[in-house]
């Protein structure tokens, strides 16, 4: 599923093509990706001008002259700008919504249709925005704040990081990678994480997200940027998807476990497990 780096890469590719364009018409091919009736959606976006293209958490956000279009990519979602630059990306194969602009088109393509497209008024968007945690690449996300909030939780660290109310935009790929960088077992309870470990985890989160943005995101299977190209960070993953392959640090085999209905990848040597009893003994 596309996470912060993938959404950010897509936004950066779309911004030059979309800002200043007006939406002439919206055609809904697959109504199940909307949260309102197609007619209401079309009425909300028709004639609106795109003032800015941004990102919040894992969502692409089109700020209009009146309202906001919020696009969650789901697992296989992609935004294809057609007729908006010198070269078009590959033609979308599973269009869900097509925005006809004053010049060109923007197509939301989604093979599995787990994505979502919404048209919100400013008040609705303010309420939605408030449900997300701090953006991890901004100054609002600090080591001390991470420690204080994580230390109050008995949830596994990986699961805590996936909660968009805690940290915006982090998904399973980068949660696993950040835990590896910090030397924290993904299944450890948040309450067992020390302040120094939280500082290392903070650096791991920011470091892996920043590097992934620079590499254009991670393509495991479906993700593409605005040009239709794959993300290159997949070649720099330390643990995610590398079960039974040698750790880049110690050559021990990377392992996979499942909890919270999601796989987690880690190195058993570099990320030793600390259970509650061991933590209590260490803390006493």
Same domain assignment for residues 182 and 206 = yes
Distance (Å) of CA 120 to CA 15, 40, 55, 69, 195: 20, 11, 15, 6, 40
Domain's final residue, options 87, 107, 129:
129
Where residue 151 falls (left for φ over 0; alpha for ψ -120 to 50; beta otherwise) is alpha
Out of 15, 51, 262, 268, the active site residue is 262
In the structure encoding, which two tokens stand for residue 60, read together?
Answer: 């692409």
Q: Is 51 a catalytic residue?
A: no
Which of 3, 118, 177, 197 does the annotation list as catalytic?
Answer: 3
3-state DSSP assignment of residue 178: helix
In this structure, is residue 22 part of a structural domain? yes
Phi, psi (rounded to 5 degrees) for 88: -85, 150
* Rounded CA Rg of the chain: 20
Does residue 135 belong to any structural domain of this protein?
Answer: no
Tokens of 26: 């919206």
3 is catalytic: yes
138 in a structural domain: no
| CA-closest candidate to residue 261, choices 193, 133, 162 | 162
**Which residue, 76, 105, 129, sits at the end of a domain?**
129
* Residue ranges making up the domain that contains 45: 4-129
Res 222: pLDDT: 86
The answer to whether residue 58 sits within a structural domain is yes
Q: What is the dihedral of CA 115, 120, 123, 124, to 10 degrees?
A: -40
Active site residue 58: yes
**Which of 272, 114, 99 minimizes the C-alpha distance to 197?**
272
pTM: 0.94
CATH number assigned to the domain comprising residue 83? 3.20.190.10
Quick one: 148 and 205 in the same domain?
yes
Model pLDDT, residue 280: 67
Report which of 199, 212, 70, 79 is spatially closest to residue 132, judged by C-alpha positions. 70
* Confidence (pLDDT) at 284: 59
Options 56, 58, 189, 242, the catalytic residue? 58
Does one domain contain both 217 and 85?
no
Inside any domain, residue 176: yes
Q: How many domains would you assign to the chain?
A: 2
Residues 6+ apart with CB under 8 A from 131: 164, 165
Q: 168 and 132 in contact (C-beta within 8 Å)?
A: yes
Query: Quick one: 251 exposed, middle or buried, by C-beta within 10 A (0-12, 13-18, 19+)?
Result: exposed
Q: 171 and 72, same structural domain?
A: no
Q: Are 150 and 190 in contact (CB under 8 A)?
A: yes
Tokens linked to 237: 């993953």
Q: Are residues 158 and 90 in the same domain?
A: no
Does 223 lie in the same domain as 121? Answer: no
The answer to whether residue 265 is domain-embedded is: yes
Whether residues 239 and 276 share a domain: the answer is yes
Residues 83 and 154 in one domain: no
194 and 222 part of one domain: yes
Looking at the fold, whether 118 and 150 belong to one and the same domain comes out as no
Residue 256: both structure tokens together: 């996979």
161 burial via Cβ count (<10 Å: 0-12, 13-18, 19+): buried
In a domain, 137, yes or no: no
Residue 26 confidence (pLDDT):
98
Q: Both 171 and 262 in a single domain?
A: yes
Question: What end-to-end distance do the CA atoms of the chain give, in Å?
Answer: 41
Of 105, 129, 153, the one marking the end of a domain is 129
Residue 181 and residue 118 in one domain: no
In degrees, to the nearest 5, what angle opens at C-alpha 194 toward C-alphas 189 and 196? 135
Residue whose token pair is 């120094």: 196
User: CATH number, domain at 252?
Assistant: 1.10.8.50
Assess whether 148 carries a catalytic annotation: no
Tokens of 198: 């939280």
Question: Is 85 within the bounds of a domain?
Answer: yes
pLDDT per 10-residue tile (average), the chain, 284 residues: 95 97 98 95 98 98 98 96 92 96 97 96 97 97 98 96 98 98 97 97 98 96 92 97 97 97 97 80 66
């Amino acid at each position: 599923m596309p996470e912060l780096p993938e959404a950010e890469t897509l936004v950066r590719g779309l911004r030059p093509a979309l800002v200043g364009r007006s939406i002439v018409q919206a055609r809904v091919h697959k109504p199940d990706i909307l949260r309102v009736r197609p007619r209401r959606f079309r009425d909300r976006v028709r004639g609106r001008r795109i003032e800015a293209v941004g990102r919040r958490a894992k969502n692409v956000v089109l700020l209009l002259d009146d309202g906001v279009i919020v696009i969650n990519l789901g697992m296989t979602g992609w935004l294809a700008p057609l007729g908006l630059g010198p070269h078009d990306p590959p033609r979308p194969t599973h269009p869900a919504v097509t925005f006809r602009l004053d010049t060109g088109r923007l197509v939301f393509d989604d093979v599995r249709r787990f994505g979502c497209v919404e048209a919100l008024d400013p008040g609705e968007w303010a309420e939605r925005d408030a449900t997300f945690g701090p953006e991890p690449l901004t100054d609002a996300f600090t080591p001390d704040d991470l420690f204080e909030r994580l230390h109050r939780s008995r949830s596994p660290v990986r699961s805590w990081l996936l909660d968009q109310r805690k940290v915006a935009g982090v998904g399973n790929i980068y949660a696993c990678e950040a835990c590896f960088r910090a030397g924290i077992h993904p299944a450890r309870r948040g309450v067992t994480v020390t302040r120094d470990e939280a500082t290392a985890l903070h650096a791991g989160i920011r470091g892996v997200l920043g590097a992934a943005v620079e590499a254009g995101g991670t393509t495991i299977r479906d993700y593409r940027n605005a040009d239709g190209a794959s993300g290159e960070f997949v070649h720099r993953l330390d643990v995610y998807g590398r079960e039974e392959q040698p750790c880049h640090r110690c050559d021990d085999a990377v392992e996979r476990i499942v909890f919270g209905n999601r796989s987690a990848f880690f190195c058993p040597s570099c990320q030793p497990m600390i259970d509650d009893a061991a933590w209590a003994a260490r803390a006493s």
